[in-house]
Amino acid sequence: MNLRKRLRELPLHVMLLPGVVILFVYSYIPMVGITIAFQKFDPIKGLFGSEWTGTDNFRYVIQMPDIVQVLWNTVFIASMKIAAGLIVPIIVALLLNELKNQLVKRGVQTLIYLPHFLSWVILGGILIDILSPSQGIVAQLFKAMGLDPIFFLGSNQWFPFVIVLSDIWKEFGFGTIVFLAAITGINPSLYEAAIMDGASHWRQTWHVTLPGMMPIIVLMATLSLGNVLNAGFDQIFNLYGPVVYESGDILDTLIYRMGLIDAQFGVATAIGLLKSVVSTILISVSYYMAYRIANYRIF
């Protein structure tokens, strides 16, 4: 790198600075707090005065009687969310792309990404009403079709699926934006070439649009894998109750209840650390796979 080239890139580095500073302040400095995971943390004695307990907190977590079930629920719900949260927006983006009427296209886009801005506190209440087996709209539909209404939020069979479906409904519009942008960025001459080669509409999608979206799809998939232990705290917290603990209690809600009863900082930090480690491993692996398989690199 010669000096001139460096100077030319200087503005870019200056633009990067705020991001780096924020990352350092909010992500790197707090890492000191990871020590809490190995302590019987006492706020009065502080970070360096608390008693060191080695891996006790981790052992405590592993020995909790319902930890296996909670882990399973977390991974199950999160995986379904990740898969559906990737596939649905891609399909919707492709469909929207086919719309020729710009006004309709924009209208639909706006409509479907609006729910993203509503909080689960509000939606939770609405959802409970909609799904109520006695008065809810869904139950009325079931009755009209001659079926028995299902108690969606009160049954362990249905609860995880309600969680995933409602989350997709809330977020798919927002996820679509990225893919629409990716489609917009595809070079039109590729389509012209495909048409010259006699590609049907469907063929164009398959051979031009999808490969053009691939980098973004891989990127989104890679990034979302880090969420395999995040099943969405605020959504579940607003919808669950003791009756669906069996299928709906996840790591985050468990930690929350520990905090409610008696702030067990050490244990909560230990679980958080475990989550981070698992996420890091998964992201690294998927990044490597993306490089090997799709020859795609972010950096």
Residues 254-293 that bind another protein (CB under 8 A): 254, 257-258, 260-264
Q: Phi and psi dihedrals of 191, rounded to 5?
A: -65, -45
CA 202 – CA 72 distance, rounded (Å): 39
The minimum distance between CB 160 and another protein, in angstroms, equals 15
Query: Which CB sits closer to another protein, 14 or 260?
Result: 260
The 10 Å Cβ neighbour count of residue 194 is 19
Residues 19-58 that bind another protein (CB under 8 A): 42-46
Q: From residue 106 to residue 125, what is the string marking binding to another protein with x (rule CB under 8 A)? A: -------------------x
Amino acid identity of residue 274, one-letter, is L
Query: Which CB sits closer to another protein, 172 or 240?
Result: 240
CA 292 – CA 13 distance, rounded (Å): 30
Tokens 């689960």 -> residue: 120
Query: Which CB sits closer to another protein, 210 or 258?
Result: 258
The minimum distance between CB 72 and another protein, in angstroms, equals 15
Is the separation of the CB atoms in 194 and 208 below 8 Å? yes
Query: Which CB sits closer to another protein, 15 or 260?
Result: 260
State both tokens at 60: 């405590």
List 59, 62, 66, 284, residue binding another protein (CB under 8 A): 66
Query: Which CB sits closer to another protein, 19 or 242?
Result: 242
List 76, 113, 151, 296, residue binding another protein (CB under 8 A): 151
The span of 14-22, 131-139, 172-180, 219-227 binding another protein (CB under 8 A) equals 131-139
Q: Report the first-to-last Cα separation within the chain, whole angstroms.
A: 18
Is the separation of the CB atoms in 171 and 85 below 8 Å? yes
Residues 6+ apart with CB under 8 A from 291: 297
Residues 228-257 that bind another protein (CB under 8 A): 239, 241-246, 249, 254, 257
Residues 6+ apart with CB under 8 A from 150: 133, 142, 158
Q: Which residues bind another protein (CB under 8 A)?
A: 42-46, 60, 64-66, 125, 128, 132-135, 151, 153-154, 239, 241-246, 249, 254, 257-258, 260-264
